[in-house]
Amino acid sequence: MTLRGVSEGDEATGRRRRYVDVTARGLALLGVLFVFSYTVYVLWPDRPPAVTSVIFVILVATWVIFIIDVVIRIALTPHGRRWHYAWHHPLEVLSAILPVFRALRVVGLLQDLPVLKRHTPSAVRAQFIILALAYACAWVFFLALATLDSERGTKGANITTFGDAIWWAIVTITTVGYGDLYPVTPAGRFYAVLLMAGGIAIVGTASATIISYLNERVAGLRHTGAELAAPSLSTGEKADPAATHALPPEEPSGSERPDGAAG
């Protein structure tokens, strides 16, 4: 990759890549610890004070480490390319600002699986779908927790249990919006906006993926010269081309035969 005519393979960029390779998995595991601690914090309101102290230390420590990580990554990027790096790596930058994005970095662990490192078109599409679903699940789960934490105990709130929060988050991210549950606090409404934005992105991404797959299939058929018969609505199998021919006209009955025709 190049930027402004300068190779991204220079020594300064190489130091950043080596740093990322060394710390990526540890930071993802740290993100798992953060999500687990925050889950305990929200779902266990009657926890002992000692547990609260441990959770507080973990949450603050992980937040500080993520901030330091972003600063180091930007510092290891050559001058003139730092804004470019921050712009093209929003997840890393936002994870140092908002805790919800820290949960998404956990999904980065999936990218290290061997099955997701293949480069065939089918494997790339499968990798994209799996990661998209993982990001969506992490997004819904963490925002449901955050919304419950901000809504619970507020006068007039109707999102008071984790079940309510998950239901509301799924309905919101799918852009359905029944209106039976809704946030009443400023923080809860902010999380609702994030869910809506995520829902729009997910719907658009799913539509683009389906269209891309159909275009690839049609292009492949044109390239091979194959013909695709109309599928059967009852079985989903390809219809027999011979069975799609028009039926021969029926012979006229005796009363409809032309004059002079044999009886």
Residues 28-73 have pLDDT tens digits of 788 888 889 999 999 998 899 999 999 999 999 988 998 898 888 8
Please give the Cα distance from 50 to 29 (Å, whole number).
23
Instruction: Supply the pTM of this predicted model.
Output: 0.69
Q: Coil, strand or helix: which one is 238?
A: strand
Give the pLDDT confidence score for residue 161 in this predicted structure: 92
DSSP state of 167: H
Average pLDDT rounded to a whole number, residues 60-88:
86
Contact 125, 213 (CB under 8 A): yes
Give the pLDDT confidence score for residue 90 in this predicted structure: 80
Where does residue 60 rank: exposed (0-12), middle (13-18), buried (19+ CB within 10 A)? exposed
- Condensed to tens digits (0 to 9), the pLDDT of residues 174-187 reads 878 788 899 999 99
Check pLDDT > 60 for residue 100.
yes
- Condensed to tens digits (0 to 9), the pLDDT of residues 144-170 reads 999 999 998 888 899 999 999 999 999
Which parts of the chain fold into alpha helices (H)?
Answer: 11-43, 49-75, 82-88, 90-95, 99-104, 121-151, 162-173, 186-224
Average pLDDT rounded to a whole number, residues 114-131:
67
- CA 202 to chain CA centroid, Å, is 6
Q: Specify the higher pLDDT residue, 222 or 169.
A: 169
Check pLDDT > 50 for residue 219.
yes
Q: State the pairing for strand pair 6-7/2-3.
A: antiparallel
Tell me the average pLDDT of the chain.
76
Give the pLDDT confidence score for residue 104 in this predicted structure: 74
pLDDT band for position 111 (50/70/90)? Answer: low
Q: Percent of the chain scored above 90 by pLDDT?
A: 23
Give the pLDDT confidence score for residue 242 in this predicted structure: 52
Contact 56, 47 (CB under 8 A): no
CB pairs under 8 A, 24+ apart, for 194-200? Answer: 194/100, 194/139, 194/143, 195/139, 195/140, 195/143, 195/169, 196/172, 198/136, 198/139, 198/173, 199/172, 199/173, 199/174, 199/175, 200/175
pLDDT band for position 244 (50/70/90)? Answer: very low
Contact 111, 131 (CB under 8 A): yes
Q: Specify the higher pLDDT residue, 49 or 234.
A: 49
Would you state the structure tokens that stand for residue 162, as one six-digit string? 């984790």
CB pairs under 8 A, 24+ apart, for 66-71? Answer: 66/27, 66/30, 66/95, 66/96, 66/102, 67/96, 69/23, 69/27, 69/96, 70/95, 70/96
